[in-house]
Amino acid sequence: MELRAAKQRGAKIVISTDSHATLQLKNMKYGVTTARRGWIEKKDVINTLPLKEFLAALRPKPTGKGQAPTARRKSA
């Protein structure tokens, strides 16, 4: 899914370097560039939030009117 469409649908965006060594942290620029191309702003990226807000963003939201229910596993 395109980033702009994901943002419009309320998807949570995280930018990561997938680093396995400190020298690879410079690769963050590629994630930021990709996010910018998708019209993603700092406020849309949950790993730019203060810790308390970041943790709250990770918690599932209860479904309400107008929201699709979460997928359920089929029992065997």
Beta carbons of 70 and 55 less than 8 angstroms apart: no
Within 8 A by CB and 6+ apart from 19, the residues are: 25, 27
Specify the DSSP class assigned to residue 65.
Answer: T
Tens digit of pLDDT at every position of the chain (76 positions): 699 999 999 888 999 888 899 999 999 999 999 999 999 999 899 999 999 999 998 888 777 665 555 555 555 5
Q: What angle do CA 44, 4, 7 make, to 5 degrees?
A: 40
Beta carbons of 28 and 62 less than 8 angstroms apart: no
